[in-house]
Amino acid sequence: MSTNDFLETLCNTHSISGNEFNLKEIIISTFKNYTDNIFTDDLGNIIALKKGYNNEKNIKVMLAAHMDEIGLIVKYIEENGFIRFTSIGGIDPRTILGQEVIVHGKKDLFGVIGSKPPHLQEKDEIDKAIKMEDMIIDVGLNKEQLVNLVNIGDVISIKRNFKVLQGNRVTARALDDKAGVATIYECIKELSKLYHECDVYFVATVQEEVGLRGAFTSTYRINPDIGIAIDVGFGSTPELSKAETLDMGKGPGITIGGNIHPGLREKLVNVAKEYNIPFQYEVTPGPTGTDGRAIQITREGIPTLCLSIPLRYMHTSVEVVDTLDIKNTAKLLAFFVSSITNENLEGLLCY
């Protein structure tokens, strides 16, 4: 399967935090041809192992990207059949009004998110953003019909399919961080062409959007020598500061900050320069807000890196990435992993 086709399949399959199981067979069946072992842990993380050659010191490198996405959850069913809901993960209510949704009950139900029409709003309401608690989902059923199909706690996804834009750009919901999972897949394929001594663990983590939970447990189990989080960063748009964004199509952002091991970061930059792989810097003084944070503070501490794929309109249903950035991120990861050897690891990890 091509990486673009894999990304489209991921994005068109809902995997709201805590409900990532829909992706299990898709990811396992895609990864298994390139790895030596693959399994799912007790929390739902998918862990694939590609063994190295002559790995005398049992070096372990972990690459992690989260497969969960933000979404909604049924909170209450009104007497008239309208559904009250709240969010799973960070959703800006301004982006969801008027959206089409799928309520994942006993069967999938199409619905729309509505609220009081502007014509009927009070003067003090007109200039204010509508709160999520003032929105409802209408699936066209009364309560008697609806309660047979929908329960409190059922998840709801925004109905938005993967689309190709001009050039190398694509748009979908949940490219945060299914673009990262696709990058791992591309990396696996690249790495199959290269000699590498270390064992590589490719992890599709769960529940990142609600607390980095999958990264904590999978890192604890693997206990890697090096952990690398692959996530997304803020893609540049005219209204955003250049200092706080990444340009689309110009390679991944290599994170600099307290979450990141300086020696490994320097090695990563040198590998990018050696192989003419475009990259950018992403300055994050504190915790990155990615799986990298969880990886770094697991057990006695894991030397950590973070790579960010530029992404526009984060946490909306129309996120945009450039597939060239996915390819270059994967290529950089593959060459970096192949550069880690039994001889140089100890020196790289020294402060």
User: Where in the sequence numbering do the catalytic residues fall?
Assistant: 208
Distance CA 326, CA 331 (A): 9
Residue 330, φ and ψ in degrees, nearest 5:
-65, -40
42 is in an annotated binding site: no
Strand 60-66 with 319-322, pairing? unpaired
* Distance (Å) of CA 260 to CA 226, 289, 314, 338: 11, 12, 23, 20
Distance CA 276, CA 331 (A): 10
Distance CA 336, CA 340 (A): 7
Q: Is 297 exposed, middle or buried (0-12, 13-18, 19+ CB in 10 A)?
A: middle
Distance CA 81, CA 147 (A): 9
Total Cβ atoms within 10 A of residue 11: 25
Between the two ends of the chain, the Cα-to-Cα distance in Å is 41
225 is in an annotated binding site: no
| Residues paired with 85 in a beta bridge | 74
66 is in an annotated binding site: yes
SS3 state of residue 48:
strand
231 is in an annotated binding site: yes
325 is in an annotated binding site: no
SS3 state of residue 337:
helix
Strand 83-88 with 71-77, pairing? antiparallel
Instruction: Write down the residue that tokens 């834009």 correspond to.
Output: 165
Tell me how many degrees the CA angle 293-294-296 measures, rounded to the nearest 5.
Answer: 70
- Hey, CA dihedral for 111, 314, 31, 259, is it positive or negative? negative
Distance CA 317, CA 228 (A): 27
- From the annotation, which residues make up the binding site for Zn(2+)? 66, 176, 209, 231, 315
